Amino acid sequence: MVDPDPRSPALEPARLAAARGDVYAFLGEQWLLPPIRDDQPLEALAARWGAVGLGVDEARGERIVRFLEETDSVIEALEAEYQALLRVPTGRYLTPVQSVYEAAAFEDDSWTFGRLRTKPWTEVTAAYAHAGYAVSPGDQVEADHIGCMLEFMAALCREESQAWADGHPERVNELRTAQASFLDRHFDGWLSKLRLRLDQTHELPYYPDVMGMLETYVKVEAKHLPRHGT
């Protein structure tokens, strides 16, 4: 469960790092898995969004909860939206991958997209390998998919939590520097293009609010992590 306030100054460092990781992991799930599923029924999803909102963007969190609780046939509608935007590569499919959007441009009401597995993919794959992680071929998802990159940030935060608990300050600093570097390189300019594409293709407000929560959280994190290159 996401801590109700992952930025609370009352949290000791190990718990704070773990709570930050939980938020990254939850946001990553939104891009990789159906929002409502057997292990996360509607009520649990609403509760998790309420908790995330308290620590990141309370108004947006409350709006997501209202949508989940007040929309008719919301389970079926969200499943259809998830399939259209994130699973079935036709029509409204987003392809939420950094390589595709970093080189993308929208001009004269038309998109030109980048190719898969270009420089961002190479950099992300190298960052995963350096930290001891890799995307399994069985996952059938690109390494620079936004969901995978959020999961990686979650893993780094959880490692940081363990380093705090073990009393290893040098490892803590190393992990926080890695988080700052990855966030700076892989959660910057291309997100605005993905948001524009999402604004053009969504039918429900759910995923635009997911995107908004992600953008807010990235800004919050950037303020608290070491500046990249320092």
Distance (Å, whole) CA 36 – CA 182? 29
**CA-to-CA dists, residue 144 to 28, 149, 190, angstroms:** 12, 6, 12
Q: Is residue 66 part of a domain?
A: yes
Q: Is residue 2 part of a domain?
A: no
Residues 6+ apart with CB under 8 A from 224: 7
Q: Is residue 6 part of a domain?
A: no
Q: Is residue 229 part of a domain?
A: no
Structure tokens at 111: 């998109």
DSSP 74-89: HHHHHHHHHIIIIIS-
Residue 110 φ/ψ, nearest 5 degrees: -145, 140
Number of structural domains found in the chain: 1
- Count H helices, E strands: the chain? 10, 2
Look at residue 132 in the predicted model and tell me its pLDDT.
97
Q: Is residue 230 part of a domain?
A: no
Q: Is residue 3 part of a domain?
A: no
Look at residue 2 in the predicted model and tell me its pLDDT.
52
CATH of the domain at 38: 1.10.3480.10
Look at residue 136 in the predicted model and tell me its pLDDT.
87
Domain that holds residue 196: 13-224
Look at residue 230 in the predicted model and tell me its pLDDT.
44
Look at residue 170 in the predicted model and tell me its pLDDT.
97
Q: Is residue 110 part of a domain?
A: yes
pLDDT string in tens for the chain (230-residue length):
455 455 555 569 999 999 999 999 999 999 999 999 999 999 999 999 999 999 999 999 999 999 999 999 999 999 999 999 999 999 999 999 999 999 999 999 999 999 999 999 999 999 999 999 999 888 899 999 999 999 999 999 999 999 999 999 999 999 999 999 999 999 999 999 999 999 999 999 999 999 999 999 999 999 999 875 44
Q: Is residue 44 part of a domain?
A: yes
